Every structure is written in C-alpha cells, then in structure tokens.
Amino acid sequence: MKLVHISDIHINADPILGLDSIANFKKCLAYVEAHHQDAERVVITGDLTHYGLEESYHELAQILDGSSLKGKLEPRLMIGNHDNRETFASVFPSAVRDDAGFVQWTEETPAGVFVYMDTVDQGRHSGRYCERRMAWLKEVLDQARKSGQRAYLFMHHNPVRVHVANADIVGLIDERAFQSLLREYKDTAAHVFFGHCHYTLSGSVSGVPYSAPRSTSHVCWPEFSGQINRMGYGDLAPNYNVCFLGNNSTVVHSIDFLQAEKVKWKIYEDLEFV
C-alpha cells in the first residue's frame, strides 16, 4: 500500500520566517496530484495552520476543495500544537471526534488499521496523551490484535527524544507512558508516523519503527548544542514522505518536491548501468 505523509503545513496569510507557507503547500499538493494518484491515503499530521485562525482554516478548505485529491485520496487532516481544536472543527464539521471531543479516529485500509491520534494540549506547544486518550488507543489496539490486523499510528508530536533541545522540550509530555504502551503492543503497532520537528527523522521507539517528514512550510535544521532557545532554519528544501506499507516491510522515501525541476533523466537502452 502506498501512503503520502505530509506534515506541518502552517497555513498563514503572512510569510513565516520569510517563507510562503501557502505557496509551498500548493506546490506540494500539485506534485502529489501529478505523481501519486496511485496512493491509497494522504495524511497530514498536524499544524494545519500557524495561529489556529478561522481564516487560515478557510484558506486550507478552499485549497483542498480545488484539489483533485478526492475520496480515498482526500487528505486526512490531523491537528497539532499550532491548531485550535474547536476552530478546526467549526470549519471542518465532518472531522471525526471521539466521545471526549478529541479529534481522533480509526480507518480501515489495505495495509491495516490507521489510527489517527490527537496529541494536542490546547494552549501549549508540548503534546499530551492523557489517560482518557490512552484508554481509547488501548481499546483500538486490543481490537486490532484480536482481529490480527497491523496498526499504523499517526500523531503530531514526537513520542521520543530526538536529541535536539528545542524539539524535545515541546515533544510528548507523556512519552514514558506512551512508550510503555507501545512495548505492550509492539506485535500489533507496525509504525508510528509524526511531524512537529520540521526535519526528516527515522528510527524506532519501544521496538516500533517511526518516521517523520520535514515541514512543507519552514524547514528546521537539527543541531545538537543542547541550547533550548536555539533553532536553525533557512531556505532549506521542504519535503513529504512516500511510504510503502507491505506485509513484511515498510519503506519510506523523502520527496523534496521543490527540487524536482533539477532532476535529469537518462534512459538506458541496453540496461547496463554505470
């Protein structure tokens, strides 16, 4: 199964750190439309807007309405720390919420069950996955295990320390409890997809692999000085991930969509590669 994973689009009328988030997202979406019509799902893991403003959500809705990505390819929208849960739900009334009002739900796919999680702690940049949400997730994973399905988890915040101070201080506050749950269900949880950090990441946590793309808006540079108030950014290549989810493998590609025009192609007539 082919999945397109986009994150941190930060829709905002004004430039962010000198970069146009709306123009970049439109270019990202256009590239996805042109090259990934064979995908099964497109997921955006939060920070849909920069300030959680109603007008920004309306801008996003207008962009998506004009897109050819419909049906199974209509982007699944998740919220992040820059979003406002109630404002998002007012502009996107079809957004699925659980009994407690969190924007989280599950979806059956050819690869298994996709689990969309709400890690927002409204008003804070750090994430939280409280006991109520954890109970919901445990029930979902119990059902997946019972039915023999693989579960793919999608969230906004990083559930593991990435050794970059300004990211780790605003990661998932409940990371130890979440990691403990992952250890319990590592036979069922196949992969964790997240965003938030704005740079490409991959690894594993509690025996479960994870991956994250860069932001399509403003890319950050990972640095390891330990300074909490230091952030690297600039005119860096935004990207999204293309993931292939198989029975025995997960393959993740990073697509630097603004660099596509630089690519040159060569056709080998004799199939001899040099």
Q: What gap in Å lies between CA 1 and CA 243, rounded to an integer? A: 8
**Residue 2 CB neighbours (<10 A):** 16
Q: What is the 3-state secondary structure (H, E, C) of the chain?
A: CEEEEECCCCECCCCECCECHHHHHHHHHHHHHHHCCCCCEEEEECCCECCCCHHHHHHHHHHHHCCCCCHHHCCEEECCCCCCHHHHHHHCCCCCCCCCCCCCEEEEECCEEEEECCCECCCCCCECCCHHHHHHHHHHHHHHHHHCCCEEEECCCCCCCCCCHHHHCCCECCHHHHHHHHHHCCCCEEEEECCCCCCCEEEEECCEEEEECCCCCCCEECCCCCCCCCCEECCCCCCEEEEEECCCCEEEEEECHHHHHHCCCCCCCCCCCC
In single-letter form, the type of residue at position 247 comes to N
pLDDT of residue 270: 73
What residue ranges of the chain have pLDDT lower than 70?
A: 271-274
pLDDT of residue 35: 97
Q: What gap in Å lies between CA 105 and CA 120, rounded to an integer? A: 14
Q: pLDDT tens digit string along 20-66? A: 999 999 999 999 999 999 999 999 999 999 999 999 999 999 999 99
Q: What gap in Å lies between CA 106 and CA 119, rounded to an integer? A: 15
Pairing of strands 189-193, 208-212: parallel
Specify whether the CB–CB gap between 40 and 77 falls below 8 A.
no
Give the residue extent of every domain in the chain.
2-262
pLDDT of residue 272: 64
pLDDT of residue 274: 56
Take residue 178 and report the two structure tokens written for it: 């979440």
| Fold observed for domain 2-262 | Purple Acid Phosphatase; chain A, domain 2 (3.60.21)
